[in-house]
C-alpha cells in the first residue's frame, strides 16, 4: 500500500551552526522541522537515537506554528472576543463604555507573540532531548548523505545518516493564471500579515482555510465574498453539517457563492478585479476586492530536496511514494506528513512522526487513518471524525443516526451559545460508532470523545451509559449517542 510526503516549514534553532571537517554520522536525520518533523526528531531522541533535524525557516514548527494553525487561531479567538463585546455584551449583562473597535496592529502583535512563544518552546524541547538542530536547507547527495546549506551563510557541509525521515511539508496550491504578490493577491501566508483591514475581501475556496479567514475579517468589518466551485462548502464535511454551517455563516454576514468558477483575477493598482462564471448556467460576471485570498488547497513541497540523487519516487500529484511503514524504495528513508499521502493535517503528521521513529527503533508503529479528526475553528466550530452519511451510503453500510441540538443543552443555553448540534452515526445492528459530526460550541474539543470511542470500538450505548458531568456541553454528545437506540432525555 503506497502513500506520499510532508511538511518543510519550520525548524529547531540552536545558538550555533554545526560544521564538520568530515561528515558527522547520525542514527536519524529529519529533513523539515514542522509538526511531523520536530515530533519525529523528539521521539527519536527519546528512544535513544542520535538525532539531527534540518530546518530552513529559521524558526521551528513549520507552516502550522509560523504561518498556519497557530497564528490563524490567535486571530480567530481574538476577533471572536471582539464580536462578543460588540454584539453580545448587553444581552450578557455587561455595559461597555465607549466605542469598541479593533486595534489591527495590536491584533497582529498578539498573534506574533503566540507564534514566538510556541516556536521557542519547540527549540527548548530540542535542547532537552539533545537533538542537533541544523539551521539550513537540506538536500540529498545520495541515499545516505545530506548536504546542508546554512541559513545565514557559511560553508555548506554534509552529514551522513543511518536513517532519514523526510518531513518537508506543503505549500499553497497556486491558481492557474492568478499571480500572487502577497499584498493584494495573497495566499494563506499573506492573509495573516496584512497591513490593514481590507474593506472588501474575496476568497477563492470555501474550505477550512477560506472560511476561517472569512470569519476573521468579517468580524473586523470587511465585506467578505467566498467563491466556491463546488455546490457546498467545507470539503469533507457531512452534507447536513455543511448545509447548516453555510446557513449560520451567511447569517454572520458572509456572502458565500457556491457553484461559482473563478476565471480570472488581476490586480489593477490597489484593486483586484475578478471574473467569475456560474458553474451551471455559464453566466459570467465581475466583482472587485481590495484583497483576494487564494485558498484552493496545498501541495507537497520538495523544492531543492534533490530527490533524484536518492532515487525517490513521486506520484502524479507530487507526493513522495511510500509503503505502509512510511518507507520509500530505500528501507532507511521514510516520508511523513503533507509531502506524502493522506490528509494534510498537523496532527496526522505528528502521529506519523512518532510511528516512523518507533519503526526505526522498535520495528513497529501505529497510525489509525480511519480516526483522524478534522476541525474548522469558525464560530460555531465544526468538527468531525470517522465516516459521514455520504460515505456510508456509497459503501452500502446500514447505519442509524442520533442527533441532539445545543438549544436543548443547559450549558449552551446558559452561555447564550446554542447554534448547532451533535450527530453520531452508528452501525444499524451493533450500534458501534462509525462517525461523529459536531457543529457548535467547543466542537473541536468534544470530538476527542468520538475519537476515543472509534479507537476502542465503543457502541453508542457505551457512551450513553457513561456518566457525563452536568452542566457541560459534552452532555449533548451523550444525548446524541442515546438517540441512536432510544430517546434522548432532554429533547
3-state secondary structure of 360: helix
Cα separation of 254 and 213, whole Å? 11
446, containing H or E segment: helix 443-455
CB contact at 8 A, 344 and 36 = no
Q: Is 30 exposed, middle or buried (0-12, 13-18, 19+ CB in 10 A)?
A: buried
Which helix (H) or strand (E) is 36 found in, with range?
A: helix 35-46
Gap between the Cα atoms of 126 and 115, Å rounded: 17
Question: Which of 16, 330, 437, 470 is flagged as catalytic?
Answer: 470
Q: Do residues 51 and 135 touch, judged by C-beta distance below 8 A?
A: no
Provide the grid cell at 216: 476573521
Q: Which of 8, 2, 119 is nearest to 71 (CA)?
A: 119
Q: How far apart are CA 79 and CA 61, in angstroms?
A: 24
- Residue closest to 333 by CA, chosen among 304, 358, 309, 312: 312
Helix, coil or strand: residue 315: coil
- Residue 453's SS3 state is helix
Let me know if 470 is a catalytic residue: yes
Q: Which of 190, 189, 141, 166 is nearest to 23 (CA)?
A: 141
Could you give the strand order of the β-sheet that contains 284-289, starting from the edge strand earlier in sequence? 260-268, 271-278, 284-289
DSSP 193: G
279-to-242, 262, 284, 285, 326 alpha-carbon distances in Å = 19, 9, 9, 12, 39
Which residue, chain included where needed, has cell 524541547?
125
DSSP-derived 3-state class of residue 476: helix
C-alpha distances in Å from residue 142, one per residue of 135, 148, 246, 296, 306: 20, 13, 50, 35, 9
* Pairing of β 284-289 and β 421-427: unpaired
User: Whose grid coordinates read 447548516?
Assistant: 244
User: What are 356's three cell numbers?
Assistant: 516512523
CA atoms of 51 and 238, how far apart (whole Å): 42
| Sequence-distant (≥ 6) Cβ neighbours of residue 401 within 8 angstroms | 389, 423, 424, 425, 426, 484
My answer on whether omega of the bond before 380 falls inside 30° of 0, hence cis, is yes
Q: Give me the active site residues, please.
A: 470
Amino acid at each position: 500500500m503506497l502513500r506520499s510526503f510532508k511538511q518543510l516549514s519550520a525548524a529547531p534553532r540552536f545558538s550555533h551552526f554545526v560544521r564538520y571537517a568530515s561528515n558527522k554520522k547520525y542514527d536519524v536525520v529529519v529533513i523539515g522541522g514542522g509538526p511531523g518533523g520536530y515530533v519525529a526528531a523528539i521521539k527519536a531522541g527519546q528512544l535513544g537515537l542520535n538525532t539531527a533535524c534540518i530546518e530552513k525557516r529559521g524558526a521551528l514548527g513549520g507552516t502550522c506554528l509560523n504561518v498556519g494553525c497557530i497564528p490563524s487561531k490567535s486571530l480567530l479567538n481574538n476577533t471572536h472576543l471582539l464580536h462578543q463585546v460588540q454584539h453580545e455584551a448587553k444581552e450578557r449583562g455587561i455595559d461597555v463604555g465607549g466605542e469598541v473597535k479593533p486595534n489591527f496592529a495590536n491584533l497582529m502583535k498578539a498573534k506574533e507573540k503566540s507564534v514566538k512563544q510556541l516556536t521557542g518552546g519547540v527549540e527548548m524541547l530540542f535542547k532537552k532531548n539533545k537533538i542537533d538542530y541544523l539551521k539550513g536547507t537540506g538536500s540529498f547527495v545520495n541515499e545516505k548523505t545530506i548536504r546542508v546549506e546554512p541559513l545565514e551563510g557559511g560553508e555548506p557541509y554534509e552529514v551522513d545518516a543511518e536513517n532519514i525521515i523526510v518531513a518537508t511539508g506543503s505549500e499553497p496550491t497556486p491558481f492557474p493564471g492568478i499571480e500572487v504578490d502577497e499584498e493584494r493577491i495573497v495566499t494563506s501566508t499573506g492573509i495573516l500579515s496584512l497591513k490593514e483591514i481590507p474593506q472588501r475581501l474575496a476568497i477563492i475556496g470555501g474550505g477550512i482555510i477560506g472560511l476561517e479567514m472569512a470569519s476573521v475579517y468579517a468580524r473586523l468589518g470587511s465585506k467578505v465574498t467566498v467563491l466556491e466551485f463546488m455546490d457546498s462548502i467545507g470539503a469533507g464535511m457531512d452534507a447536513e453539517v455543511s448545509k447548516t454551517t453555510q446557513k449560520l455563516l451567511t447569517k454572520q454576514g458572509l456572502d458565500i457563492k457556491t457553484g461559482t468558477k473563478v476565471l480570472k483575477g488581476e490586480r489593477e493598482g490597489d484593486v483586484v478585479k475578478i471574473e467569475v462564471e456560474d458553474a451551471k448556467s455559464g453566466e459570467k460576471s465581475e466583482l472587485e476586492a481590495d484583497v483576494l485570498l487564494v485558498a484552493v488547497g496545498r501541495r507537497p513541497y520538495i523544492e531543492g530536496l534533490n530527490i533524484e540523487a536518492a532515487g525517490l519516487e513521486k506520484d502524479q500529484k507530487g507526493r513522495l511514494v511510500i509503503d505502509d511503514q512510511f518507507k520509500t524504495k530505500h528501507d532507511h528513508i521514510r516520508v511523513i506528513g503533507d509531502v506524502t499521502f493522506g490528509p494534510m493535517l498537523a496532527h496526522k503528521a505528528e502521529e506519523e512522526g512518532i510511528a516512523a521513529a518507533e519503526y526505526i527503533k522498535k520495528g513497529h508503529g501505529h497510525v489509525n487513518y480511519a480516526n483522524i479528526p478534522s476541525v474548522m475553528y469558525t464560530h460555531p466550530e465544526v468538527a468531525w471524525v470517522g465516516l459521514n452519511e455520504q460515505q456510508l451510503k456509497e459503501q452500502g453500510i446500514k447505519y442509524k443516526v442520533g442527533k441532539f441540538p445545543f438549544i436543548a443543552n443547559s450549558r449552551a443555553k446558559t452561555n447564550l451559545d446554542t447554534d448547532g448540534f451533535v450527530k453520531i452515526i452508528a452501525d444499524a445492528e451493533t450500534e458501534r460508532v462509525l462517525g461523529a459530526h459536531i457543529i457548535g460550541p467547543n466542537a473541536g474539543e468534544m470530538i476527542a470523545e468520538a475519537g476515543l470511542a472509534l479507537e476502542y470500538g465503543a457502541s453508542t450505548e457505551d457512551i450513553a451509559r457513561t456518566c457525563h458531568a452536568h452542566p457541560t456541553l459534552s452532555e449533548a454528545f451523550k444525548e446524541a449517542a442515546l438517540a441512536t437506540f432510544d430517546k434522548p432525555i432532554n429533547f
